[in-house]
Structure formats: C-alpha cells, structure tokens
Amino acid sequence: MNNLKPSSPIGVFDSGMGGLTVLSELVSALPGEDFVYLGDTARVPYGSRSPATILRYSREVSHHLLQFNIKMLVIACNTVSAHAESILREELTCPVVGVIHPGARAVVSQSQSGRIGVIGTRSTIKSGAYEREIRKLNGDLSIFSRACPLLVPVVEEGWMDKKLTRQVLEEYLSEMVREEVDSLVLGCTHYPLLKKAIRDQYPELKLIDSSVETARAVAQELKTRSLLKQGPDSSNPATSKGSVRILLTDVTDHIESLERLFFRHPFQSLEEVHVEEIREV
C-alpha cells in the first residue's frame, strides 16, 4: 500500500446498477475525487449465487479495478460485503471499504430503544453479516431481520409511489413495527430510493442509509491515510470536480433508465467491458 497516491481514482464495485446509489453519495461527499465504477451487469444478481461463486466474481472484478491504480476499493454491494469483504481486504494492495460496517456502526449509535430492524436481500440476510457487525459493537441490542426480495424489482420498475409498493412494505415491515423497532437499516443499495415511501408509512422509524454512511466512512478513511486528492492550494481539498467513469459487463436498453434512477450526477463515460476480459486478469 506504500505506492498509493492521492491523485489516483477510487474504485467502486457492485454486482449491478444498485451500487450507483453509493457512488452518488460518494460523489456528493467527495466531489473532487475521481471514480471508476464497475458494475457486473452480465452476471447480476450475485445474491442467487453460492458464496464460492460470489467470492470468485468479486476477486475477478476487484483485480480488474486494480489495473486503474485505484487508491481504495469501495464495495457498493451488500452481498459482496457480506461474503467477500474480509478476504478482499487481506488480498488486495489497497484499502477496502464495504457497506455493512458503516451501516451497523450508524444504527448502533443512533438507536434509542436498542431494538433494531434490518432489511435486505435473501443472501444478505441469510449471511447474518449485519447482525454480526452490530453485535460486535453492542451485544445487548435486539435485532429483527427480514429478507425483502420483492423490493428490488419494485425499485427497478420505478414504482416507489405505487399502492402495490405500500402494500409490499406493509407486509415486510408490519411485524418489525409491532416489535417496536425504532431504527431500520436499509441493507440493500436499491432501498435508499424507498426512503420516502417508508417514511410516509412509518414516520416513527429512523432510517439508516448504508450508502450515506459508507460515503462518510470512505471520506474519513482517505483523510486518515492522507489520500484525499488535493487542489492547486495544497492546504485545501480539491475544488474542481473529479471524473466519473462507468464500466459495465453488459449494456442493455434498460441500463439508461436504471442509471437515471440510481445516479443523480453526470458522468463522463459509459463503457462496456466483457466478462472474458475480467477473467483474464
């Protein structure tokens, strides 16, 4: 890690397009930084794969991103964070930040009642990763977890304001509300787009957005390691906007609508990189 340079880009990795919500928060928090995002859209979703396959895919994508001389890898995917983050942290030559620990840390510090809810995909919930991270920080908390597989397709259809979505949320969250949870971790990168819908139905719930918390963690980690990109005046952070480069392993007609849905910033380029190229690394 001695060769890491502040001027190098930050690599961001997701199994698909949902990680653009994390990238969006990163760009907002660190507007002067350069980013390279790789979405493995040809092999999405990872959540239906075995842990061994998830790790193999994650290694392939991560090592491909190393070719861009990244100074940090951000895993913008709960499934990969749950199954591969600890191994990638040991193997890669740059710091690695996932989305689970920042979300866990935030909910532990913000919950008043000590009764916490966690929602995510089947793979993330089955892994127990959020529960483990939360209990490392505070073993006395009560944690209620629920897999919510219908929420991803609802978001990708753009149905955040539909009656159907309200019914699905009620089905998934009503039991947690009866258990008097006061804080809810949005344990999937698609779920930040449902914050308004959840707040409208359950205004008493404090929502923990792992995308926002991850951006804060990345900013702090860069500062701690003296890796923040500097502007012309070395005493101040960069004031000019950095670049955003998007790489996808499969570009379809649906990609443009998903990009508009998940990402609220302009980016300079959208490129396709074939899975075979990633496997060759």
**What pLDDT is stored for residue 239 in this prediction?**
59
**What pLDDT is stored for residue 267 in this prediction?**
64
The band of 213, judged by pLDDT with boundaries at 50, 70 and 90, is very high
Active-site annotation holder among 17, 77, 134, 198: 77
Average pLDDT over residues 61-82: 96
Report the mean per-residue pLDDT for the chain.
91
**What pLDDT is stored for residue 233 in this prediction?**
44
Q: What is the pLDDT of residues 111-145, one digit of tens each?
A: 999 999 999 999 899 999 999 999 999 999 999 99
Average pLDDT over residues 215-228: 96
Q: Active site includes 148? A: no
- DSSP labels for 41-66? TTS--GGGS-HHHHHHHHHHHHHHHH
Is 0.95 topped by the overall pTM? no
- Indicate if 101-210 has the same CATH topology as 10-99+212-279: yes
**What pLDDT is stored for residue 232 in this prediction?**
44
- Residue 134 CB coordination number (10 Å): 24
Q: Active site includes 94? A: no
CATH number, domain 101-210: 3.40.50.1860
At the second CATH level, the architecture of 10-99+212-279 is 3-Layer(aba) Sandwich (3.40)
d(CA 237, CA 241): 11
Structure tokens of 172? 């998934």
CA 18 to chain centre: 8
d(CA 279, CA 281): 5
Q: Where are the domains of the chain?
A: 10-99+212-279, 101-210
Average pLDDT over residues 190-211: 96
Q: Which residues contact 21 (CB under 8 A, 6 or more apart)?
A: 76, 189, 190, 192, 193, 211, 262, 263
- Of 1-15, 135-149, 199-213, the poorest mean pLDDT is in 1-15
Residue among 155, 23, 38, 48 nearest 99 (CA): 23
Question: Is the peptide bond prior to 192 cis by the omega test (within 30 degrees of 0)?
Answer: no
Q: Show the DSSP H helices in 17-150 as ranges.
A: 20-29, 51-66, 78-83, 85-91, 100-110, 122-127, 129-137
DSSP-derived secondary structure letter, 70? -
- Of 91-100, 217-226, 265-274, the poorest mean pLDDT is in 265-274
Active-site annotation holder among 10, 188, 193, 227: 188
Q: Are 100 and 214 in contact (CB under 8 A)?
A: no
Say if residue 93's pLDDT is above 60. Answer: yes
Structure tokens of 84? 């591969």
